[in-house]
Structures are given as structure tokens and as C-alpha cells.
Amino acid sequence: MLGLFILTAVLAVSSGYSDLKVRRIPNFLTLPGILLGFILNFLLFGVIGFRNSIIGFVIGFGFFLIFYLFGGMGAGDVKVMGAIGSLLGYPMVIQSLLFVALSGIAIILVLLFPAIFYSLKTMNFSNLWSLRKTYIPYGLAISIGTILSIAFKLGGAHELF
């Protein structure tokens, strides 16, 4: 199990770094992660592990796919969350999604705080509409949230769900 966590952490950190550096999460990180998740969960935990890996992939990929279809995030974010779901399996992927969402909210607030503060200070909210086109490196939120989820699990806590 620890090996899956380490592999997941390496994938998460690599994809977060890539998203920050070049605004892209390459397929050579995500696709092997998906396949390794299926294979390793099968080898380590048998048919139940394989089933949980597939369910984890569907949940991680499917949840982010909705945002991708509405233009809210990139395809790399969707694929890396699918890979994380494949590696962590169900139900841990749900816990990871929760930590990813909380990390994303924190990052968005930090990045957009100056504009929001200025709008509140001047009571001029017209500039807030232009913020919707601001690039948010969500791979960073995925990385932080996944690491927090793994740390939470390794710290002896049970899954939240």
C-alpha cells in the first residue's frame, strides 16, 4: 500500500510542477499512472483491488470531466485525477477529491485576493468580471490535495467517506 501512495505522490507532485511550469500536464505522466493503478491494484489486492481501482478512476476522471466540458479546467487535470483515482482506488479517491477541492479554493483565494480586496476597498466590482479568464494552475491543487489525502491516511485516520 505504501508503494501505491509513493507512486501517487510522485505523480501528483510531477503533474503539479508541470502545470505550474508549462501550464500543461503531459500524457506521459497520466496514462502510465492510469495503467499502473489498474495493474498494481490487481496484483496487490486481487479482483477487489482491480474493481476499486476502476471505480476510483471513473469517479476521479468523471467528476473532473464535467468541469472540463464546461471549460473550467484542462484535459490534463481530468486525466491526472483519473490516474490518481486509479492508483488510490475507491473510496480513497473521494477523500482525495475533497482535499483537492479545499486546496483549489485556497489557491483561488490567494491568487485572486488582491483583485477582490481592491474591489471591496473601492466598491468598484466591474473588474471582477475580467477575473473569470484568469489562469488557475489546478494541477497544483490536485497535487496538494492528493498529498494531504495520503498524509491523512498515513496518519492513521480512516477514510472520510
b vs e for 14-53, b when ≥16 Cβ sit within 10 Å of the residue's Cβ?
Answer: bbbebbeeeeebeeebbeebbebbbebbbeebeeebbebb
- Average pLDDT rounded to a whole number, residues 20-49: 95
Q: Where are the domains of the chain?
A: 2-154
Q: Which pLDDT tens digit goes with each residue over 60-83?
A: 999 999 999 998 889 999 999 999
pTM for this model (two decimals): 0.86
